[in-house]
Amino acid sequence: MGTELDLEKNKSSQKEFQTLLNKDFENRKLKENSIIKATVTEITKNFVVVDCKAKMEGMIPVEEFKNDEEFKNLKVGSKIDVFLERIESFKGELIISRDKAKKMKAWKKLEKVFENQEEMTGYITGKVKGGFIATVEGLPCFMPSSQIDVKPLKRVDHLMNTPVKVIATRIDKNRGNVCVSRRAVLEKSKSAEITEALKNIKEGDIVDNAIVKATTDWGIFLEINGIDALLHVSDLSHGRVKKPSDLVTIGQKLKVKITKIDEKTNRVSASIKALTENPFENIEKKYKVGEIYEGVVTKIMDYGCFVKIEEGVEGLIHSSELDWTNKNIKPSRVLSISQNIKFKIVNIDKASKRISLSYKATLDNPWDKVKNLVGKETEIKINNITEKAIFGEMIDTQLSGMLHYKELSYQENIEDLKKFKKGDRLKVKILEINDEKIKFSKRAIEKDPLDWFKDNKKKVGDIITTRIYEVLKTGVKVAIDNEKKLIVTIRKADLAKDIADARPEVFSPNNALDAKITELDLKTRKVKLSVKAAQIDEEKSLIAKFGEGATKSGATLKGIFEKAIGKKKNKNEK
């Protein structure tokens, strides 16, 4: 009886304890997937045991603390944040994580500082493709190679596993990715320093201690009291500068003038030429157009040569102003760098700071020697033969001119070009000199075949005796003079009065043929002959002489011709 009563009391006490315990757990308000506070109750070799005010204690692997400074000071009774995954697993265990708690806490902090662009401390723990892994608040983040410093670094060993200041530049919550930048912190710090330093200088200041940091083809980078500045190549001198590196060395101190400060970008521009007077200011007073001066060749280009007139003043001799005989001559064949020369000023453009010079104007002009030689004979050497002309150089002056194929002979045959080759020498006459262009003529030194008409006093309407030179399908060519230099073509329609007799094939070379001059223009060299017109004239002449009363007596034209011819024969016989 007593035993049963004791059992009932024990069961009642257990139920009461369970009820009190359940109420206690309800009051603790533990929620899964949240961060809770836990108290360290024991530290073993492999685990850190904590009390989370749950039904049982939780165990956290020591590995989750190894990279945490907090582990060094961890002891029984310490309060730490843990992530509660499950209050009770299928094994009845409490599932918690210190690592996840740190990452979740770090993520929330990163989201906050990303909005405010606050600086955080991180550790560069490893290298990956395209950048580095930076652990920030226990959360691995990606740092691109370009964001580790303001300038490319060959080695980053000194930055590995050491605390560095970074700023979050991009957060992807869906993928859980974070990008950070150390460069942004450095630039921000540098920008603040520059802003502060810029308060001590202003535009127009002259600085004596600008240090050369680097040189490029387009300028020099300087350091002025801790501030970077650019000295552009155009601000080095009033004249032309070939290479900035030829004028300065790294570490050299220069005296410069601050010409511009950009408040938005904090960029500073400096100038050396601003320290001296612009030599182009009174250039027209020092140098006159048309006058001859001396200078030094400083640069040779394909299009001409630059000449130093004085310090900071240069002029250009265009290739067309180097040589009288060749406007397209290569400048390096005429002048060389550092050569002292005389030149003539052609033009001064003060606004654009350009001076045009002429070298050939200081030399004897061969054109002056030949301008009075028009109509005179000379000798040329063939330099080139084109499709329609010969180009040759005068032996005594080296001036070049053109000999057109029509000026080779009075026949004006383009095939005559094939009779000559490069290097041949020819006697020619100068026909024309205009705009430094010469025209030659070979036929002009020969007797003009058309002079035959003058010598024999022949004119339009006269009948002349010719010799057939060549028979064509469209007519015949006849030679007027005995030397056969004056050749004229008689068209088929002009070969005879009767169409049946006007066939070219009935004619033979070297036969005599009487023709009438129907057109003669010595200036345009146009000559036209007609056998038909000669026959018509002869017919009219015979009719006029023998045809009086002929129609009344029944005489025919044939009889009249025969009668006339018979009389001519009788006279010849007598």
Overall average pLDDT of the 272-287 stretch: 83
Lowest-confidence region among 264-278, 291-305, 354-368: 264-278
Determine the residue type at 126.
Answer: G
Q: Is the pLDDT of residue 389 over 90?
A: yes
Q: Which domain holds residue 378?
A: 368-445
Q: Which residue has the higher pLDDT, 190 or 567?
A: 190
Shared domain check, 398 and 352: no
**Residue 569 belongs to some domain of the structure:** no
Last residue of a domain, one of 275, 306, 326: 275
Q: Is the pLDDT of residue 37 over 70?
A: yes
Cα distances (Å, whole numbers) of residue 421 to 382, 416, 463, 568: 7, 11, 43, 57
Between the ranges 413-417, 435-439, 544-548, 562-566, where is the mean pLDDT highest? 413-417
Overall average pLDDT of the 529-536 stretch: 91
Residue 518, SS3 per DSSP:
strand
**Residue 384 belongs to some domain of the structure:** yes
Shared domain check, 490 and 404: no
Last residue of a domain, one of 410, 445, 480: 445
Shared domain check, 536 and 457: yes
Q: Is the pLDDT of residue 557 over 60?
A: no
* Nearby residues of 240 by Cβ (< 8 Å), 6 or more positions away: 298, 299, 306, 314
Distance of CA 192 to the CA centre of its chain: 41
Q: Cα angle vertex 229, ends 227, 234, to 5°?
A: 170
**Residue 341 belongs to some domain of the structure:** yes
Shared domain check, 510 and 542: yes
Query: Which pLDDT value is given to residue 489?
Result: 92
CATH number at residue 428: 2.40.50.140
**Residue 138 belongs to some domain of the structure:** yes
**What whole-number distance in Å separates Cα of residue 297 and Cα of residue 568?**
91
Structure tokens at 513: 């043929």
**Residue 34 belongs to some domain of the structure:** yes
Shared domain check, 111 and 124: no
Shared domain check, 217 and 269: yes
Shared domain check, 470 and 437: no
**Residue 566 belongs to some domain of the structure:** no
**Residue 561 belongs to some domain of the structure:** no
SS (H, E, C) 228-248: EEEEEHHHCCCCCCCCHHHCC
Reference 444, options 476, 469, 407; nearest CA is: 407
Q: How many domains does the chain have?
A: 6
Q: Is the pLDDT of residue 494 over 70?
A: yes
**Residue 322 belongs to some domain of the structure:** yes
Shared domain check, 112 and 123: no
Shared domain check, 464 and 494: yes
Last residue of a domain, one of 87, 116, 145: 116
Shared domain check, 122 and 96: no
Query: Which pLDDT value is given to residue 68?
Result: 61
Lowest-confidence region among 125-129, 185-189, 354-358: 185-189
Instruction: Report DSSP letters for 291-316, one per residue.
Output: -EEEEEEEEEETTEEEEEEETTEEEE
